[in-house]
């Protein structure tokens, strides 16, 4: 067989295989080996059309060590020539979800003409077989359905994607079918719509379809059509595990003790260490963008490191304590002021514990450096857990809503989230002076490692990546930084115009769309993407990226072994990354 192991930063590998059956077969083997404790350090695994992303803990294993443990599981994998990915799965005992469809899609007639079919023939072929829910991605509840009729094997995407595809739209692209769980942009061919709700957090199983299940489409306009969805299993059997750093919130809040939001600033969110183990549902980790600042704030008040905090963008946050509270502010360098109920005011410092009495108001000014502040409260805030985490994922729409003026955040009793730690005032050097934070107008250098598709770009693009500054635009957010350079990045000639099947991405991925102006993915990035990833931010600069405001220029400093060799990138350090390849029959499609 032919496969490649491609670097995806310093905490992930992307395994590229020949087709979907091999990918799913390897995923099953790895899951079994992981359950037996045979793959120490292996974290999330995210499958796609013919790739499998393996995240790992660099403190437990290196990329080379992980690959050495994975190699024995690669041989032999099923290679049915020309077979549909669903072969053999239709007869299994996997749960089958019926999906009623009204075949009224905007692209139905044009697609039927392209395939040389009548409208009725296309519908009959789409409803004539089961589909395998192969993998999730793009958004929670969006599942790639494989195994349709041969005629759908190479359905093209639209030349110009729609800016809005309605929720419930049934679509085709490549050899996959899918249902859009919410209104969003999309370039797939729309053939119908379903009244089914694909993602609902109020259900015991939020995702109506999950990888490994079967799906059968039914034509609602067919005479005698009557479809009812099967009942969901009990919620108790489906409760997601809570993150190791955060215990479930059981104790009630102190009566009347809370923080009241007088002003939320531009954006203030609840965040923690993020949610893990939910990638099969299309849900990423999310969590605090600046994990270092979150942990530092919690340390200042003696909390466990993953205790939920407030993440504030660009200051101007004002909080009033309705009971005694101890707070700390870290992250961006902001002026702090505490105004007491009797009108007295005093300045305060970031990076240390601040005692507030009843009626005291903590005010955050505008950052002098950095972009995001983190506010921790001793004992913790009562934060609702969604899929095991209090984090707000702005792309997926999961977690608490952004705070608004007047919101009240109940305080938990001391020790509710875990044993409190002693606070050593002499050891708390967590202020802005503890690390260099960027300011508007400055240029920030970020280390980048080769991405899985670095070989899609020639030496000129790699030189341009490190040779010219990249402006951080105001359109940047928690999903990613949109960058603008004087000259766009161009693909190598052999990859010009090629379409990349969707594959998993990581936080820090530098994805290059057709415009050539890259996007640097942050914590709320989509699980999968269809544009090549040229580079990945080194993990030691992820927290720094969270503190970069708009109107800062970036310069990328490549490290590691790149496809064009060290001569093309003089700054490269050969021991900083691992890239292991074997031969392939043809370039990836």
What is the pLDDT of the chain when averaged over all its residues?
Answer: 86
At 370, phi and psi to the nearest 5? Answer: 85, 180
pLDDT of residue 226: 62
pLDDT at residue 169 is higher than 50? yes
For residue 234, the Cα-to-chain-centroid distance in whole angstroms is: 28
**What does the pLDDT look like over 111-131, one tens digit per residue?**
999 999 999 999 999 999 999
Short-list 557, 509, 561, 513, CA closest to 536? 509
H-run or E-run covering 214 = strand 214-219
**What does the pLDDT look like over 236-285, one tens digit per residue?**
333 343 333 333 444 454 556 899 999 999 999 999 999 999 998 899 99
pLDDT of residue 333: 95
Cβ contact 449:506 at 8 Å: no
E strand spans, 334-378: 336-339, 345-348, 354-356, 361-364, 369-377
Helix axes 119-126, 108-115, angle to 10 degrees: 90
For residue 370, the Cα-to-chain-centroid distance in whole angstroms is: 23
What is the pLDDT confidence band of residue 502, given thresholds at 50, 70 and 90?
Answer: confident
Spell out the domains of the chain, with CATH numbers in brackets. 4-82 (3.30.1360.40), 91-219 (2.40.100.10), 258-410 (no CATH), 443-558 (2.40.100.10)
Tokens of 246: 């955060």
Cβ contact 8:533 at 8 Å: yes
Tell me the average pLDDT across 357-380: 96
Q: Give the whole-angstrom CA distance, residue 552 versus residue 367.
A: 14
Residue 317, Cβ neighbours under 10 Å: how many? Answer: 25
Short-list 520, 534, 530, CA closest to 562? 534
Beta bridge partners of 76: none
**What does the pLDDT look like over 528-552, one tens digit per residue?**
988 999 999 999 999 999 999 998 9
At 273, phi and psi to the nearest 5? Answer: -75, 0
Cβ contact 491:523 at 8 Å: no
Tokens of 67: 């690959």
**What does the pLDDT look like over 467-489, one tens digit per residue?**
999 999 999 999 999 999 999 99
Contacts 24+ apart (CB under 8 A), 26-35: 26/52, 26/73, 26/74, 26/77, 27/52, 29/73, 30/54, 30/70, 30/73, 33/69, 33/73
DSSP state of 241: P
Q: Give the whole-angstrom CA distance, residue 471 versus residue 473.
A: 6
Cα dihedral: 140, 501, 451, 442 (round 10): -60
* Residue 82: CA count within 13 A, CB half-sphere: 1
Which is more confidently placed, 235 or 67?
A: 67
**What does the pLDDT look like over 184-219, one tens digit per residue?**
888 899 999 999 999 999 998 999 999 989 999 999
Short-list 475, 449, 483, 476, CA closest to 546? 476
- Cβ neighbors of 480 (< 8 A, separation 6 or more) are 511, 519, 520, 521, 522, 525
DSSP string, 298-346: HHHHT--TT--EEEEESS--EEEESS-EEEEEEEEE--EEEE-TTS-EE
Cα dihedral: 166, 180, 272, 387 (round 10): 120
Q: Give the whole-angstrom CA distance, residue 136 versus residue 336.
A: 44
For residue 347, the Cα-to-chain-centroid distance in whole angstroms is: 38
**What does the pLDDT look like over 405-441, one tens digit per residue?**
999 999 987 766 677 676 655 445 544 445 789 998 9
- Of the chain, the percentage scoring pLDDT greater than 90 comes to 71
**Cα distances (Å, whole numbers) of residue 8 to 329, 423, 533:** 33, 38, 9
Residue 576, Cβ neighbours under 10 Å: how many? Answer: 16
**What does the pLDDT look like over 284-306, one tens digit per residue?**
999 999 999 999 999 999 999 99
- Of the chain, the percentage scoring pLDDT greater than 70 comes to 84
């Amino acid at each position: 067989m032919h496969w490649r192991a491609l670097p995806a930063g310093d905490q992930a590998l992307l395994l590229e295989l020949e087709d979907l059956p091999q990918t799913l077969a390897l995923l099953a083997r790895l899951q079994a080996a992981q359950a037996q404790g045979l793959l120490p350090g292996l974290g999330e695994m995210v499958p796609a059309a013919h790739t499998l992303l393996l995240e790992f803990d660099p403190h437990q294993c290196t990329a080379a060590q992980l690959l050495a443990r994975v190699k024995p599981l690669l041989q032999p994998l099923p290679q049915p020539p020309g077979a549909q990915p669903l072969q053999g799965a239709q007869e299994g005992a996997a749960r089958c979800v019926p999906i009623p469809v009204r075949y009224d899609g905007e692209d139905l007639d044009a697609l039927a003409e392209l395939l040389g079919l009548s409208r009725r023939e296309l519908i009959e072929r789409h409803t004539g077989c089961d589909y395998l829910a192969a993998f999730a991605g793009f958004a929670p509840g969006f599942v790639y359905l494989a195994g349709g009729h041969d005629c759908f094997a190479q359905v093209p995407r639209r030349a110009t994607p729609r800016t809005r595809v309605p929720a419930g739209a049934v679509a085709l692209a490549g050899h996959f079918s899918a249902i859009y769980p919410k209104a969003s942009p999309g370039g797939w061919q729309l053939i119908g719509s379903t009244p089914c709700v694909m993602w609902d957090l109020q259900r015991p199983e939020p995702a109506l379809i999950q990888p490994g299940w079967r799906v059968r489409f039914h034509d609602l306009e067919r005479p005698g059509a009557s479809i009812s969805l099967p009942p969901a299993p009990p919620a108790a059997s489906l409760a997601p595990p809570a993150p190791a750093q955060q215990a479930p919130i059981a104790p009630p809040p102190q009566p009347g003790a809370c923080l009241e939001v007088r002003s939320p600033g531009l954006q203030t969110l609840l965040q923690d260490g993020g949610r893990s183990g939910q990638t099969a549902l299309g849900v990423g980790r999310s969590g605090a963008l600046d994990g270092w600042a979150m942990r530092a704030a919690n340390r200042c008040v003696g909390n466990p490191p993953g205790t939920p905090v407030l993440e504030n963008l660009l200051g101007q946050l004002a909080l009033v304590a309705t009971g005694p509270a101890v707070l700390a502010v870290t992250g961006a360098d902001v002026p702090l002021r505490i105004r007491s109920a009797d009108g007295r005011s005093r300045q305060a410092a970031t990076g240390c514990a601040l005692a507030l009495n009843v009626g005291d108001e903590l005010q955050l000014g505008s950052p002098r450096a950095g972009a995001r502040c983190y506010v921790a409260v001793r004992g913790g805030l009562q934060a609702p857990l969604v899929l095991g985490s209090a984090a707000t994922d702005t792309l997926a729409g999961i977690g608490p809503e952004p705070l608004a003026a007047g919101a009240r955040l109940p305080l938990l009793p001391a020790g509710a989230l875990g044993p409190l730690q002693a606070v050593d005032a002499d050891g708390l050097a967590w202020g802005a002076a503890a690390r260099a934070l960027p300011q508007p107008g400055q240029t920030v250098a970020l280390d980048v490692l080769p991405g899985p598709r670095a070989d899609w770009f020639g030496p000129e693009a790699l030189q341009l990546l490190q040779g010219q500054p990249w402006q951080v635009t105001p359109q940047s957010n928690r999903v990613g930084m949109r960058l603008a350079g004087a000259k766009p990045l161009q693909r190598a000639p052999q990859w010009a115009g090629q379409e990349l099947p969707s594959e998993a991405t990581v936080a820090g991925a530098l994805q290059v769309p057709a415009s050539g102006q890259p996007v640097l993915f942050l914590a709320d990035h989509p699980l999968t993407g269809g544009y090549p990833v040229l580079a990945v931010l080194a993990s030691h600069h992820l927290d720094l990226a969270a503190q970069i405001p708009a109107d800062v220029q970036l310069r990328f400093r490549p490290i590691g072994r790149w496809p064009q060799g060290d001569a093309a990138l003089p700054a490269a350090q050969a021991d900083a990354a691992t890239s292991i390849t074997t031969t392939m029959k043809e370039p990836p499609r």
